[in-house]
Amino acid sequence: MTELLKVQALTKSYQQKGYWLNRKRITVLDSVSFTIEAHKTLAIIGETGSGKSTLARLLVGAEPASSGNIYLNGQELKSGSYKHRCQHIRMIFQDSGTTLNPSLTIQELLDEPLKLNTPFNEKKRTELIRMTLQKVGLLGDHMNFYPHMFSGGQKQRISLARAIILQPQVVILDEALASLDPSLRSQMINLLLDLQQQMGLAYILISHNLGIIRHFSDEIMVLSQGKVIECGNTQEIMTKPQHKTTQKLMLNQSFQLRVKNRYKS
């Protein structure tokens, strides 16, 4: 499988706000490198403050990296060039309450990326919006509704529609499934798996829930304080974690799992 996304030595540091003479330089990400292929999912785990969200923002282009390169299909992505990047890498946010603009209808919401990045006329755009809404499991008529009329699960679907409407190749899920109820979470996972098959997407999943990660991802990358401490196949890392931090993370989940096995048998 050819590499879809390649990240090399990505670093992000900034100066702490404080007195002019007393500012420290904080390194949030320290030389992170990894690769992703199409149809595959990479999960990134780590405790809070380990730089996961920063990595997501760097990849999608919300902030410029201090150093390092990102290559998409062999081409280097420069920071600040949203128009090129947004067609290939998209992101879904966590808090479904603030991720949709409350004063726009769904049609206007989904129209915006199309208007800014594609040369289609209005009829074609409406057609595309209707098709995308149906793909994520909503009705085409939903495009006249406002965001406050939808439930949390439906809002995440609309977020997903906004992410895939430009036919990207990489979708970043920044804790997108954390706030959903378990049954809605399963529905969303099924939907994501279907889309991955149909469109050949690569996912980057940032999550705390190891059960979902075990089911959904092919590879895991463990971050701690900005550095990659472990990276490899899901099965291997979950059963035989090498580093101490990874072991601590796995232990917490497996403790609950092991005891539950008692009930299953």
Q: What DSSP character marks residue 78?
A: P
- Residue 9 vs 198, nearer CB to other proteins: 198
Q: Which amino acid is at 76?
A: E
Can you say whether the dihedral through the CA atoms of 2, 189, 225, 54 is positive or negative? positive
Among positions 106-125, residues that touch other proteins (CB under 8 A) are: 107, 112-113, 116-117
Q: Which stretch binds other proteins (CB under 8 A): 24-32, 66-74, 142-150, 224-232?
A: 142-150
Q: Pairing state of beta strands 3-15 and 25-37?
A: antiparallel
* Close Cβ partners of 141 (under 8 Å, ≥ 6 residues apart): none
Of all helices (H) and strands (E), which one includes residue 36? strand 25-37
Question: Can residue 22 be called a binding residue for other proteins (CB under 8 A)?
Answer: no
CB of 199 to other proteins, least distance (A): 15
Among positions 43-82, residues that touch other proteins (CB under 8 A) are: 47-48, 60-62, 82
Q: Minimal CA–CA distance to 129: which of 159, 165, 87?
A: 165
Question: Can residue 187 be called a binding residue for other proteins (CB under 8 A)?
Answer: yes
CB of 162 to other proteins, least distance (A): 7
What φ, ψ does residue 8 adopt, rounded to 5°?
-125, 120
Task: In whole angstroms, give the CA distance from residue 91 to residue 57.
Answer: 9
User: Which residues are at the interface with other proteins (CB under 8 A)?
Assistant: 41, 47-48, 60-62, 82-83, 86, 90-91, 93, 95, 98-105, 107, 112-113, 116-117, 126, 141, 144-146, 148-149, 151-154, 162, 181-187, 189-190, 193, 208-212, 214-216, 218, 234-235, 248-249, 252-253, 255-257, 259-260, 263-264
